[in-house]
Homo-oligomer: A and B are copies of this chain.
Amino acid sequence: MASLTLEDVAKQAGVSRSTVSRVLNDRPNVRKDVRERVQNVIKSTGFRPHAAARALASQRSWTIGLVLPLSVTLFFTDPYYSHLTKGIAQACNQYNYTLALFLVGTKEDEEKIFPRVSRKGLLDGVIVQSGHHGEQQIIGHLHDAKMPLVVAGRPFRSDNVSYIDIDNINAAFIAVTHLIRLGNKRIGTIAGPQHSTVGLDRKAGYVKALNERGFSIDESLIVEGDFTESGGYYAMKKLLSAKPDAVFAASDVMALGAMRAVRESGLSIPDDVAFVGFDDLPIATLSDVQLTTIRQPVAQFGAKAVDTLIDLVENGINPPRHIIMETELVIRESCGAPHGKK
């Protein structure tokens, strides 16, 4: 298979390389009949340009990278990542970009991955999930290399960097305010890790809601989880001794774990303890008591990240784009609001 080249196609169509290239890339200035003739040859031969050759000549690889943390358990237990990945993958597909996946687990992974993502000729741009340990470092790398970059989730140092996020503070505020309105007096929270902006912001929203309604902040009602199911479970065990009548969990997965702990202790949901989660992943509806939660548009979020990245690739990385997406409170059973079908 002396693999077909542009040249061969050109010969068959009786035109030059350049013309075939123009047809291939949908460029103007090709006579209609010539274009069609070339297209026919392309179709009949099944010709597809050599990706590496094109990348070398055009200095565009049509590939974007996705860097995801894999902090031991997170990638497994939190379906959030699957959903995000799916949204990004589908968007890439739509734009005919290839998606390169980089899962960063160990320190050694980092060492191998970091140089690779900034390597010339491999990636046109990169999406980095914020909130993991080496975040700062990789963002710096990428920035130095002038590699177009979109961070999914606001990073710690967000100047000069494009990111896409939801308004975590406000969303959490709404969730907690909802619990207050329902008459709960001792509202606890299972917060996310406080080394991530998500964790910080959602807790800030919780605090803000309580303050605004004149509640004082009781530190014993705040427990930090790690976004895993068992993290939620153990956090709730701790929280239980503070006797909360409602809990705002910073993720659905943690909410599920927490609800398991509550059930085990013999209390009922939502009567004894009301719950609001965060994410609205499909699992939110699978539990015995369906979860009231904040819906964030995970798939669109991914698509928008790709959109933005491609924009950066094509139009330069300045000025940095900051995009905030909308969220929504979805009321189900676990909060005890009249809406619940129970």
B115 touches A93 (CB 8 A): no
**Interface SS of chain A:** helix
Residue of B nearest to A106 (CB): B90
A73 touches B282 (CB 8 A): yes
A76 touches B83 (CB 8 A): yes
B51, B56, B101, B288: the one contacting A122 at CB < 8 Å is B51
Q: Complex Cα distance A50/B81, Å?
A: 30
A100 touches B101 (CB 8 A): yes
A291 shortest CB reach to chain B, Å:
14
Mark A52-85 against chain B: 1 for CB-CB distance below 8 A, else 0.
1111100001010010001001011101011101
A29 shortest CB reach to chain B, Å:
26
A76 touches B282 (CB 8 A): yes
A331 within 8 A of B: no
Q: Which residues does chain B contribute within 8 Å of A82, judged by CB atoms?
A: 75-76, 81-82
Residue of B nearest to A87 (CB): B103
A209 within 8 A of B: no
A230 within 8 A of B: yes
Q: Which residues does chain B contribute within 8 Å of A76, judged by CB atoms?
A: 79, 82-83, 86, 281-282
B86, B89, B101: the one contacting A99 at CB < 8 Å is B101
A98 within 8 A of B: yes
Q: Complex Cα distance A264/B315, Å?
A: 56
A112 within 8 A of B: yes
Q: Which residues does chain B contribute within 8 Å of A102, judged by CB atoms?
A: 89, 93, 99
A245 within 8 A of B: no
Q: Complex Cα distance A63/B55, Å?
A: 14
Once A120-B50, A121-B52, A282-B77 are accepted as A-B contacts, the answer to whether A103 and B109 lie under 8 Å apart by CB is no
A25 within 8 A of B: no
Q: Which residues does chain B contribute within 8 Å of A100, judged by CB atoms?
A: 63, 98-101
A128 shortest CB reach to chain B, Å:
15
A11 shortest CB reach to chain B, Å:
18
Q: Complex Cα distance A73/B93, Å?
A: 19
Q: Which residues does chain B contribute within 8 Å of A50, judged by CB atoms?
A: 56, 119-121
Q: Which residues does chain B contribute within 8 Å of A85, judged by CB atoms?
A: 101, 103
A75 touches B70 (CB 8 A): no
Q: Which residues does chain B contribute within 8 Å of A120, judged by CB atoms?
A: 3, 48-51
A98 touches B122 (CB 8 A): yes
A119 touches B282 (CB 8 A): no
Q: Complex Cα distance A230/B290, Å?
A: 14
Residue of B nearest to A95 (CB): B112
Mark A270-284 against chain B: 1 for CB-CB distance below 8 A, else 0.
000000000001110
B112 touches A93 (CB 8 A): yes
A201 within 8 A of B: no
Q: Which residues does chain B contribute within 8 Å of A61, judged by CB atoms?
A: 51-52
Beyond A52-B61, A98-B116, list 10 extra A-B contacts (CB 8 Å).
A1-B146, A51-B119, A55-B55, A75-B82, A76-B79, A76-B281, A77-B79, A77-B282, A85-B103, A264-B288
List 15 A-B pairs, Cβ < 8 Å: A48-B115, A50-B120, A51-B119, A52-B53, A53-B56, A73-B282, A75-B86, A76-B282, A86-B103, A90-B105, A93-B102, A93-B103, A98-B116, A260-B288, A263-B288
